[in-house]
Each structure stands twice: as C-alpha cells, then as structure tokens.
C-alpha cells in the first residue's frame, strides 16, 4: 500500500493534468464538430484561470462558486466576440480567434490586478481529483447526449455543408455561436481547475503555443468520436513523462512521434476504417 | 560445517550494516536542461557536478558520498511540479536544488514545503519566493539587494542627478527588475527624465531612445536581457546619446559585449559573483570547472557550486538514521546556521520577511560585486581613479 501511496503522491499532478487537458481537447472538439477552426480556447482557458484565481485570492469565494465563475465569464466573452467573428470561416476565423488570443494575453500582461508578466502566485490548492473526474464525466455525458440530439445533428450538417444546412432551415449562425460559447465555458472551467492545483499562473501559459497544443491533442486523438480528444490529451500529456529516460533527447522524440502520426495516421490514432482495412489485408496474406 | 556458515552470515550482516553506515546521500537537482531556460539550467547543473566531485574526492560528508539525482524540468511549471514529486516520493532525496526559474519555484516550492523537504533555489531572484514557507531556501541574491549598491556606486562615480529608464515590460525578470529600480531611484532621490518600454524580441529601439535623448539624462538605467541591452547600447550611441548605462542582473552575460563591442563602455553592473575574485576558493572553482567542461563558468554555476557546499556543511551536523523524514527535518534545521566563504564570497542566510508575517524561508545575505565595463570587459570597480 505504501508503494501505491508514493506512486499516487508522485503522479497525481500528472493525472490531474490529463483530466484538464482532456477537457480542453473536448472544448475544441465541440467547435470542430461544428466546422469551426477556432484557436481561442487557450485564451478562454486563461480567462477562466485568472478569474478563478483572483476570486480565490482577493474575494475568498468558495471553490464551487469560483469554478462556476471560471465557466461563466469566458462564456460571456465568447458571446461578445463570437457574434462578429463567427461570420468568418476557415483560415479567416482561425486568424481572428488567434488575434483575440493575443489581445487577451497582452491585456493580462499589462493589467496591475493580474500581476503582469510575473503572474499570480500562492493560489490555494483547492482542486481535488474527484472534482476533475466529476466535471469530466459530466462534460462527456453532456456532449454525448448533445451529439445525438437535434442540435448535434445540426452541428454535423453545418460541418458538412453550411449552405445546405441553412437551406434545410437550420439557423447556422446561432448553432455556431452556441458551439463557440459552450467550448469557451468548458475551456474556462479547465483553466480554473488547472490554476487551483499548480499554485501559480502567468500569461505565458495561455499564448499561441498552448492554443496549438490543445488543437494537436484533439487532432492527434481523432475528432471522429468523443474518446478521440481524450486519447490525444492522455498521450500528449504522458509522452514527455514516459520519455524521461531519454534525457536531453526526449523533446526530439516527442516531435518525431507527432510527425509520424500526422504522416501515417492523418485522421488521428483511431481511424476504424483504416484499422479494419489493415486487418482485412492481414487476413488475406 | 555450521561454523563457517555462521561466520559467513555474520560477515554478510556486517557488510550490510557497513553499507548502511556509508550510504550515499541522495540530493535532487531539478533544473531546466532543455527549453528556453536551458542556458542557465545547464550551467547550474555543471556547477553542482563540480562541487559534488570535489566533496566526494575528499571522502564525502562524514564518510558518506553525495549522489546527485538530476532531472530536467524544462523551465515549465507543470514539469517542475512533476519532477519535484518524483524526487520527493520516488527517489526519496534528502533535499532538492532548483528549479531554475522563479515561476517554476512558485509552482513547485509549495509541493516541497507541504512535504516538509528543503527546496533550495540557486537562481530564483524574484521577490516573494521565500514567502512560500519555512522549507524554501535560496542563495541567489535578490535584485533588491544588488541594485541599490549598483546605483549608489554609479551615482558617486559619475555625479548623476537625472536618469532615463528603459525596460522590457512583458518579461517577469525584466519587469521585476524595473520595479526594484523604480524604488531605488525614488529612495536615492534621482529624477527620472522618461520611462520607456519594449517587448521581448524587439530589435529597433530608436523611437524610445529618441525620447530618452530629448530628456538629456546623465545615465540610462536599463532592466533588460543581454540581447536587447546590446542593441539598445549600439543604437543609443548611433543616435548620439553619450550617457553611461546602469544595468541589472540581465547584463551579466559575456554575450552583451560580443554584440555591443565598445558601445557599453562605462556601464555599471552588479553581480553576486566575480570571475576575477582572487579568493583561493574561487580560483579553485574556476580551474576545476574549466578542466571538467572546457568552458568558462558563469555566475549561475558559481552559485550552484556554493549551494552544494552550503548543504554539505549543514549535512555534517545531521545524523543520518534510517528515518528519512527526521533526516530531512534535521537538514532543514541545520541549514540556517551555515555560513561559508565560497566562490561568491562570504555567505550566510537571513530569515525572509514575509508579506503576511507568517514564518517564511531563508534569503541570501551577501554583498554584491560592482563592475564597470572597460575595454569591452567587466572590470571589478575599485573606486574612482
């Protein structure tokens, strides 16, 4: 038992990180499911993290209220910026959301209350394993139900062809906005959870690099199902830790693994058709 | 036949006991060996290695060899937490050195403090680090201890009355350096003609420098990293600004003068370490480092070297029984009493004054070396000639 205790003490942060990254990957999966390539999720995560940290540090709110605020504030921001920007599509939307991310980062960098480039430290460690687990389970359940609902079908038709979808009577703009706002909420809550087990946040963590990391997790795992983004998040979080024995070279190996996946499994790690084909070929040979 | 078997058993038991007596002392080293902060982290690791080799060659601490468990924390906060936990719970080290960046210490320090194990920073200069708790130590001198001396020396040397300030406002290191400068300038009653900012990666500073020139300052105070500082120096000279520069810890890089060449003449810089300090312990360190790594040591390596010697001194009075927690606690209690004369000069700890009055960790109590730049080189300042 002692061995197990030690193991848990060592790796609980890693397990928490997997949970938070899974939430982030799901948040971008939601916008991707609606055909939107949005890179704003790192910024929404940052807003959630800063709002929750400030409420904990300055106002002393209870953790449940803090987490709720970490979801609500990014949702409101998403509502405001979503209305004008979601008219854009493809790379133009990606550019607009990227610019939004930079704006958020620079605002946080220059405000007094956010601690500027030095960030906020001494954030209480309120996040427990079961908080993350419960929120993740709830999110997965909600998204699974959503997929099978009228709204989920509408998302799918918008992703395939938004002109055809609008001709069938689907309010494209509203559905896109809904996906965007819901994604922002999930990302914000993930940010709030993350801030409360790492003691410290700074603007550096919510920049372009992290936006791309989140996207990579979803794409690597495969966006065909809900399990995909979670698988991507797990692998990308664990890989650097598993490769620790490679010392200085692990960054290189991490990169090589990603390149190989993108080259040979462009639709993500789990692509049923390809795997079936592989087995079929194996069977014949 | 039973007799030899018994002897064998006794011999084996004696060997086991002997092994337990001369056990290795496991000390964790968590530094950024890859990523953006690797240039500091690698130097720090090398400094530790030189010190460990030296201590072990002399027979270790009370006959126990020091074994460094070195891990890469990549300069990221999550990684720093993961590495700290691995060192504390898996490797069961006695104490941890690192992490490299102040930001990582803010994230990983509370983990060590909660587990009641010493986290000893050798390169964390930000304010508030030792507020984390009573298990946090550092021998890195804070900017707020160095800059007042630097500024006062420069003011005396040049007869400065008004200064201009330029700093990077998107970097934790240069921004906190600026905050300290601001306070120091106010304390020493120096007028500020203008305060200019830039962001990391800027290469053209002419707009800011033109404004600075209009104020005709006696000196330019610069809280910048070496790359930007070098460009600022070059461009200010080409704009005709003749005022000397006063710099923070970011200036402490040979790179500064590789790029700026002679544009930085007369610059004043404070540093916790001097490569030309003639004390035998420093000469010893510089030679050992050069021999092992075929490169010149820097301030970060020197501070790491001293840090391990400080820990070794404390370990001498620690009884290493089988109880890890007791040993960790004993080391924590022994550390504040240590004072040594190391490569960075005489050193002792000073209890931190925390913001909320709770017991904090321990800061370095050390006087900095002040340099003036002459002929494109750092020269120890020895008074007005």
What tens digit of pLDDT does each residue of B63-81 get? 899 999 999 998 888 899 9
What tens digit of pLDDT does each residue of B329-355 get? 999 999 999 999 999 999 999 998 887
Considering only alpha carbons, which residue of chain B is nearest residue A240? Answer: B79
- Across the range A229-235, mean pLDDT stands at 91
- Across the range A80-101, mean pLDDT stands at 91
Q: Rounded to whole angstroms, how far apart are CA atoms A144 and A138?
A: 10
Q: Rounded to whole angstroms, how far apart are CA atoms B363 and B134?
A: 11
From residue A41, alpha-carbon distances to A154, A187, B153, B311, B357 in Å are 22, 6, 50, 45, 39
Sorted by where each begins, the domain ranges of chain A are 2-250
User: What is the ipTM score, two decimals?
Assistant: 0.82
- Structure-block tokens of residue B272: 């916790």
Task: Tell which residue, A258, A210, A156, has the closest CA to residue A17.
Answer: A210
pLDDT surpassing 70 at residue B319: yes
Q: Which residues, in sequence order, are CB contacts of B130 under 8 Å at separation 6+?
A: B136, B137, B138, B352, B354, B360, B361, B362, B363
| Residue of A25 and A261 predicted with greater confidence | A25
Task: Tell which residue, A195, A190, A183, A191, has the closest CA to residue A75.
Answer: A183
What tens digit of pLDDT does each residue of B90-103 get? 999 999 998 999 88
B72 touching A (Cβ < 8 Å): yes
B171 touching A (Cβ < 8 Å): yes
What tens digit of pLDDT does each residue of B247-292 get? 988 888 777 878 888 888 999 998 888 887 888 999 999 999 999 9
Q: For the purposes of burial, counting CB atoms within 10 Å of the CB of B192, is it exposed (0-12), middle (13-18) or buried (19 or more)? A: middle
What per-residue confidence (pLDDT) applies to B70? Answer: 94
Question: What CATH architecture applies to the domain A2-250?
Answer: Orthogonal Bundle (1.10)
- What is the distance, to the nearest Å, from the Cα of residue A181 to the centroid of all Cα atoms in its chain? 13
Is residue B220 a contact partner of residue B185, using CB atoms and an 8 Å limit? no
Highest mean pLDDT: which range of B11-15, B76-80, B190-194: B190-194
Give the distance from residue B230's alpha carbon to the nearest chain A alpha carbon, in angstroms: 22
Domain B144-271, CATH: 3.40.50.2300
| Residue of A184 and A268 predicted with greater confidence | A184
Q: Rounded to whole angstroms, how far apart are CA atoms B268 and B264?
A: 9
Query: Which chain B residues touch A247 with a CB distance below 8 Å?
Result: 33, 72
Using the CB atoms, write b or e for B137-175: b if 16+ within 10 Å: bbbbbbbbbbbbbbbebbbebbebebbbbbbbbbbbbbb
> Other C-beta atoms within 10 Å of B202: how many?
15
Query: Which chain B residues touch A125 with a CB distance below 8 Å?
Result: 110
* pTM (2 d.p.): 0.84
Are B90 and A198 inside 8 Å of each other by CB?
no
What tens digit of pLDDT does each residue of B201-242 get? 889 999 999 999 999 999 999 999 888 899 999 999 999 999
Angle at A144 between CA A140 and CA A145, to 5 degrees: 120
> Other C-beta atoms within 10 Å of A80: how many?
9
Angle at B70 between CA A206 and CA A196, to 5 degrees: 30
Q: Rounded to whole angstroms, how far apart are CA atoms B54 and B285?
A: 9
What per-residue confidence (pLDDT) applies to A147? Answer: 93
The percent of residues in chain A predicted with pLDDT above 70, rounded, is 94
pLDDT surpassing 80 at residue B5: no
Are A10 and B78 inside 8 Å of each other by CB?
no
pLDDT surpassing 80 at residue A1: no
What per-residue confidence (pLDDT) applies to A241? Answer: 83
What per-residue confidence (pLDDT) applies to B15? Answer: 45
The percent of residues in chain B predicted with pLDDT above 90, rounded, is 63
Are B126 and A17 inside 8 Å of each other by CB?
no
Query: Which chain B residues touch A199 with a CB distance below 8 Å?
Result: 106-107, 109-110
What per-residue confidence (pLDDT) applies to B19? Answer: 41
Indicate the average pLDDT of chain B. 88
Residues in chain B: 385
Angle at B194 between CA B191 and CA B198, to 5 degrees: 135
Considering only alpha carbons, which residue of chain A is nearest residue B131? Answer: A122
Rounded to a whole number of angstroms, the distance between the first and last alpha carbons of chain A is 48
What per-residue confidence (pLDDT) applies to A285? Answer: 42
Is residue B343 a contact partner of residue B289, using CB atoms and an 8 Å limit? no
Are B81 and A10 inside 8 Å of each other by CB?
no
Task: Tell which residue, B88, B59, B16, has the closest CA to residue B324.
Answer: B88
A6 touching B (Cβ < 8 Å): yes
What per-residue confidence (pLDDT) applies to B304? Answer: 96
Looking at A66-80, B180-194, B249-263, which range is the least confident one?
Answer: B249-263
- Structure-block tokens of residue B94: 């006695």
CATH of B7-141+277-367, one of 3.40.190.10, 3.10.50.40, 3.40.50.2300, 3.30.540.10: 3.40.50.2300
Task: Tell which residue, B269, B271, B272, has the closest CA to residue B346.
Answer: B272
- Residue B128, sorted as left (phi over 0), alpha (psi -120 to 50) or beta, turns out to be left
Q: Would you say the CATH fold of B144-271 matches that of B7-141+277-367?
A: yes
Sorted by where each begins, the domain ranges of chain B are 7-141+277-367, 144-271
């Amino acid at each position: 038992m002692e061995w197990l205790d030690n193991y848990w003490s060592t790796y609980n942060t890693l397990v928490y990180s997997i949970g938070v990254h899974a939430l982030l990957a799901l948040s971008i999966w939601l916008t991707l499911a609606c055909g939107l390539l949005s890179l704003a999720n790192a910024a929404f995560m940052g807003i959630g993290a800063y709002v929750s940290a400030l409420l904990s540090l300055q106002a002393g709110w209870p953790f449940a209220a803090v987490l709720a605020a970490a979801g609500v504030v990014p949702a409101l921001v998403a509502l405001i910026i979503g209305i004008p920007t979601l008219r854009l599509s493809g790379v133009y939307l990606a550019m607009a959301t990227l610019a939004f991310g930079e704006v958020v980062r620079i605002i946080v960098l220059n405000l007094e209350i956010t601690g500027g480039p030095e960030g906020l430290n001494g954030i209480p460690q309120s996040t427990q394993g079961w908080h993350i687990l419960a929120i993740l389970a709830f999110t997965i359940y909600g998204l699974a139900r959503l997929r099978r609902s009228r709204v989920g079908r509408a998302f799918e038709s918008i992703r395939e062809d938004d002109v055809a979808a609008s001709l069938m009577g689907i309010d494209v703009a509203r559905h896109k906005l809904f996906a965007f706002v819901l994604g922002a909420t999930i990302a914000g809550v993930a940010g709030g959870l993350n801030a409360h087990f790492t003691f410290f946040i700074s603007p550096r963590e919510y920049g372009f690099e992290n936006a791309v990391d989140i996207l990579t997790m979803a794409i690597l795992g495969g966006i065909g199902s809900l399990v995909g983004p979670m698988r991507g998040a797990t692998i990308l979080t664990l890989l650097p830790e598993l490769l620790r024995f490679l010392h200085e070279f692990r960054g290189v190996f991490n990169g090589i693994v990603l390149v190989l996946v993108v080259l040979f499994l462009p639709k993500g790690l789990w692509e049923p058709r390809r795997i079936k084909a592989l087995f079929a070929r194996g069977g014949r040979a | 036949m039973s007799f030899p078997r018994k002897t064998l058993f006794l011999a084996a038991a004696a060997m086991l006991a002997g092994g337990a007596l001369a056990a290795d002392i496991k000390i964790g080293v968590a530094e950024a060996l890859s990523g953006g902060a690797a240039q500091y982290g690698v130097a720090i690791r090398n400094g530790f290695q030189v010190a460990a080799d030296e201590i072990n060659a002399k027979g270790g601490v009370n006959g126990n060899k020091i074994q460094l468990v070195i891990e890469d924390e990549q300069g990221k906060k999550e990684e720093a937490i993961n590495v700290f936990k691995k060192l504390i719970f898996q490797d069961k080290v006695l104490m941890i050195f690192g992490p490299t960046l102040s930001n990582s210490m803010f994230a990983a320090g509370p983990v060590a403090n909660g587990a009641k194990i010493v986290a000893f920073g050798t390169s964390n200069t930000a304010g508030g680090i030792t507020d984390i708790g009573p298990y946090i130590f550092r021998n890195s001198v804070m900017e707020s201890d160095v800059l007042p001396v630097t500024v006062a020396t420069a003011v005396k040397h040049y007869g400065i009355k008004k200064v201009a300030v330029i700093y990077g406002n998107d970097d934790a290191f240069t921004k906190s350096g600026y905050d300290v400068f601001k306070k120091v300038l106010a304390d020493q009653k120096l007028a500020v003609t203008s305060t200019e900012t830039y962001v990391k990666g800027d290469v053209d500073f002419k707009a800011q420098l033109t404004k600075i020139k209009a104020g005709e300052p006696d000196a330019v105070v610069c809280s910048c990293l070496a790359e930007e500082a070098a460009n600022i120096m070059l461009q200010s000279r080409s704009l005709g600004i003749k005022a000397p520069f006063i710099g923070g810890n970011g200036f402490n890089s040979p790179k500064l003068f590789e790029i700026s060449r002679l544009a930085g003449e007369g610059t004043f810089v404070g540093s916790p370490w001097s490569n030309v300090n003639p004390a035998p312990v420093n000469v010893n360190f510089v030679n050992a480092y050069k021999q092992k790594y075929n490169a010149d040591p820097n301030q970060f390596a020197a501070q790491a070297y001293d840090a391990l010697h400080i820990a070794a001194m404390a370990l001498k009075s620690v009884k290493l029984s089988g109880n890890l927690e007791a040993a960790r606690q004993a080391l924590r209690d022994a550390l504040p009493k240590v004072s040594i004369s190391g490569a960075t000069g005489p050193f002792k700890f000073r209890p931190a004054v925390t913001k909320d009055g709770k017991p904090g960790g321990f800061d370095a109590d050390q006087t900095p070396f002040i340099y003036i730049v002459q002929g494109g080189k750092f020269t120890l300042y020895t008074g007005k000639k």
